[in-house]
Amino acid sequence: MTPDRRRFGAAILAAGFSSRMGAFKPLMDLGGKSVLERCVGAFQQAGIERPLVVAGHCAAQVQSEAKRLGVPTVHNPGYGDGMFSSVRAAASACAGLPDLDAFFLLPVDIPLVRPVTITLLLHAYDGRVAYPVFAGERGHPPLIPAGLIPRILGHDGQGGLQGLLEGQPGLDVPVWDRGILLDADTPDDFAVLLWRAARLHVGERDEALALAGQSMPGRGLAHGQAVAAVAVGLGEELNRNGARLDLDLIHNAALLHDVAKDRPGHEAAGGALLERLGLGGLSPIVGAHRDVPPPASGVLTEKEVVCLADKLVRCDRRIRVEERFGEKLALYADNPEACAAIRGRMQHALALRGMVEKACGRGLEDILAGVLP
C-alpha cells in the first residue's frame, strides 16, 4: 500500500519459450539470483509484496521458483499463442484483486528495473497509463489502470499490448534507470545484463547524468560535470601510471557529489540519499568529499581523487588549491576556529595533489591541460 492508500498490483510474464536464449530465462542465474527473483525483488522493495507470476512453458519449474520466493503463480495454458495470451492471463488474475487501482506488467526478460523506478511510477500515477522514460524512450513496466482490464480481456491481440494502450491517455515519467530498456532475448543481451547486475551499485554514466539532471539545479549540475571531468582526467592519468581506479565510479560520484547541496550536512545527506536510491557504491565517496586526508597506505583511491577534483573546481572552472582555500580564509578571517579547519582541509588537498603528481611524474597543470578552461 502506497502513502496515498491506493492499491497497486503487479504481474511478471514468465510463460514464454526463451527460444532465442538457448536456456530458460526465468531460472537463469543473474548475479547470484534467478532472473525471476530479480523481477520479484524490484516490486517487493517498492512495496508490492506479492506480485503475480504468469507461468506457461516449464510451468512446474516456474511455480517452484515462485513458491520459493513466496509469490503466487497463474497458469497460462495458451502460452504458445504469444505474449498477449500472458497479458490476458495477468489481467484476469489482477481483476480478482480487491479494490485494485492499477497494476504493472513486466516481462521476465527485463529483470534489472530498479526498485526506485517502480516507486517513482507509483507516486506519479494519476489515472493514466504511466510509462517510465529513459533518454526519451519508453520502457517497462507500464502501470496500467485497472479500468482497462475489460478492454484487455476483450482485445483480439492485434498489435499486442502496445497497440491496445496507444489509444489510451498516457503519462511519461522520466527516470534515470536504463534497465527499463534492457531485455534478455539473446546470450549477448544476457552478457550485458550480467555486467550491469554487478555494477548496479555504481550505475552507468548516462544514468548518473540523468539523475543529476533530475535532481540538481543548473549551476549544481554544471559544477558536478566540471568536477567529474577533472576527476576522470586525474583517474585516467593515474591508471596510465599503474593505478587500477574505477573510472565510472569516479565519474558518477564526482558528478553527484553535491546532489544534496541544499540540505544541512550535505555530504552525509548526499551519501545517504544515494544509498537509498541503490547507488551504495557512490555513498562513501560522496559522504566524504568535503575533506579526505592522504591515505596512510600511500595508495590513492577513487575517494581521494574525487575529493581533490572538487578542490580544483570553482563553479565550472578550474582553480588552484591555494586560491580555492585562500578565498575561504579571507571569508572567515575573523573566525580563528573556522580558519584552522580550513587550513587543515587545505593541507590535506595539497598532500593529495602531491601524491598525484608524484605518481604521475608530472605537475597537475600538465596532467589537466585541456580538461577545463
Q: Which fold has domain 205-367?
A: Hypothetical protein af1432 (1.10.3210)
> What is residue 4's predicted lDDT score, i.e. its pLDDT?
60
* pLDDT band at residue 22 using 50, 70 and 90 as cut-offs: confident
d(CA 350, CA 330): 18
From residue 359, how far is each of 187, 221, 234, 238, 353 by CA, in Å? 41, 30, 11, 7, 10
Map out the domains of the chain as residue ranges.
8-199, 205-367
Q: What is the mean pLDDT of residues 80-85?
A: 92
Residue 151 CB partners (closer than 8 Å, separation 6+): 164
Indicate whether 133 pLDDT > 50. yes
The percent of the chain in helix, strand and coil, each rounded to the nearest 5, is 50, 10, 35
CA distances, 282 to each of 26, 170, 258, 302, 316 (Å): 30, 34, 12, 10, 21
185 in Cβ contact with 21 (< 8 Å): yes
Q: What is the mean pLDDT of residues 250-267?
A: 97
Residue 299 has pLDDT above 90, yes or no: yes
Burial 349-362 (b: 16+ CB within 10 A, else e): bbbbbebbeebbee
pTM of the model: 0.94
| % of the chain at pLDDT higher than 70 | 98
Asked if 52 contacts 82 with a C-beta cutoff of 8 angstroms, the reply is no
**What does the mean pLDDT of the chain come to?**
96
What letters, b where the CB count within 10 A reaches 16 and e where it falls short, cover 309-319? bbbbbeebebb
* Equal CATH topology for 8-199 and 205-367: no
Cis peptide before 98 (omega within 30 of 0): no
pLDDT at res. 3:
46
Q: Per-residue pLDDT averaged across 130-144, rounded?
A: 98
The C-alpha atoms of residue 238 and residue 89 are separated, in whole angstroms, by: 56
- Answer yes or no: is pLDDT of 156 > 90: no
> What is the CATH superfamily name and number for domain 8-199?
Spore Coat Polysaccharide Biosynthesis Protein SpsA; Chain A (3.90.550.10)
